[in-house]
Amino acid sequence: MSDLGLLLRKAREQRGYTLDDIQEATKIRKRYLEAIETGDYKVLPGSFYVRAFVKTYAETVGLDAEEVLRLYHKELPKPTAAETAAPEAMIKPKSRSVQHNDKWGKLAVNLLMWLFPLLIIALIYYFIDQNSNSKAQDSDRDTDITNETEMPSPTPSPSSSVTVTPPPASSTPPASETPPATTLTLTETTSGGVAHYDVSPAGAHELVIVSNKSWVGVNEGSRSGKYIYNGTPQTKEELTFTLEDKPLYVNVGNASNIEITIDGIPVEDGDKGGSKKFLFTPVASSDTTTDSTTEQQ
């Protein structure tokens, strides 16, 4: 085993991660992770990917990736000339495109600078013309009213008056409804270590995860559902999610560095090192998630 692989493996074991956890967090195949730990870099698809995989691995287990690459750069294979030539060839057409875009951008700015004063003059002319037309119409209207004979104003008939009686005020004001309190119920813990919680009452709930440099994965519905979040915050960070129509599957890499609350109610996680898994199911959708419960086992 190489010195770099030994360093990464110790950091992973100290945080309670398995290779499966690292694979799920980084999306790097497990056999590539094993090859990095043993120093067998020939298994990887190319020397260009070695540094990228090692950097991602180091960040996931909480190490300084740049420092790791600097200390062990002699151990890592260097990219071949064929691997470095392709990126250089792609830079030239990109620079021409940028220069071409800058030229048209300068022309557009100059055109706007010339058109702006013309637009201001056109607006001033329009308002002057509108004011002159308005004054002429007012003058014509005053002349017509002076020549007409003033008509007496009609006297309202007494029979046309209507009395409106306001509805009687209610003697008792409507009682304000107090929303029911949120309840968390631990229904079971499966053999796979997944803690199942029912969250009531029906409606939207706020799920908050506070992570201190520990990997967090949140899936919609079940473990195989769509990822809502997948990452390792480098500082103490508060992650907020909405639990309403579908269950949320939460997987944390190190429970001792994680705090989970729902509507301000803390969720018991044992506060121990190692991974921890939860499935939070809203009461309104509990009947529709039976299949996802079987899948977590």
Chain-centre distance for alpha carbon 76: 35
Beta bridge partners of 184: 199
Instruction: List helix spans (H) across 41-80.
Output: 47-60, 65-71
DSSP letters spanning 101-134? HHHHHHHHHHHHHHHHHHHHHHHHHHHHHHHHHH
Range of the domain at 64: 3-71
Task: Name the more confident of 248 and 136.
Answer: 248
Q: Which pair of structure tokens corresponds to residue 25?
A: 């967090």
Q: Is 210 contained in some domain?
A: yes
Q: With a cut of 80, say whether residue 37 has pLDDT above it.
A: yes
117: confidence class by pLDDT, cuts 50, 70, 90: confident
Beta bridge partners of 261: 208, 266
Task: Give me the number of domains the chain comprises.
Answer: 2
Q: Is 251 contained in some domain?
A: yes
Domain termination site, one of 12, 40, 71: 71
Confidence at residue 198, expressed as pLDDT on a 0 to 100 scale: 93
Domain termination site, one of 71, 87, 112: 71
**CA–CA gap between residue 294 and residue 297 (Å, rounded):** 5
CA-based R_g, the chain, Å = 36
| CA dist list (Å): 106 to 18, 40, 93, 97 | 55, 53, 20, 14
**CA–CA gap between residue 47 and residue 20 (Å, rounded):** 23
58-115, pLDDT tens digit by residue? 899 999 989 888 887 777 776 665 554 444 334 444 445 545 567 788 888 888 888 8
Q: Is 136 contained in some domain?
A: no
In this structure, what CATH number is given to the domain that contains residue 37? 1.10.260.40
Confidence at residue 253, expressed as pLDDT on a 0 to 100 scale: 80
Mean pLDDT, residues 149-177 taken together: 53
133: confidence class by pLDDT, cuts 50, 70, 90: low
Q: With a cut of 80, say whether residue 159 has pLDDT above it.
A: no
Indicate left, alpha or beta for 203 from its phi (over 0: left) and psi (-120 to 50: alpha): left
Q: Is 223 contained in some domain?
A: yes
Q: Is 160 contained in some domain?
A: no
233-246, pLDDT tens digit by residue? 877 788 899 988 88
Beta-strand ranges (E) seen in the chain are: 183-189, 194-200, 205-212, 216-220, 227-231, 236-243, 248-252, 258-262, 265-266, 276-282
Q: Is 239 contained in some domain?
A: yes
297: confidence class by pLDDT, cuts 50, 70, 90: very low
**CA–CA gap between residue 37 and residue 8 (Å, rounded):** 7
Domain termination site, one of 17, 37, 71: 71
Q: Is 178 contained in some domain?
A: no
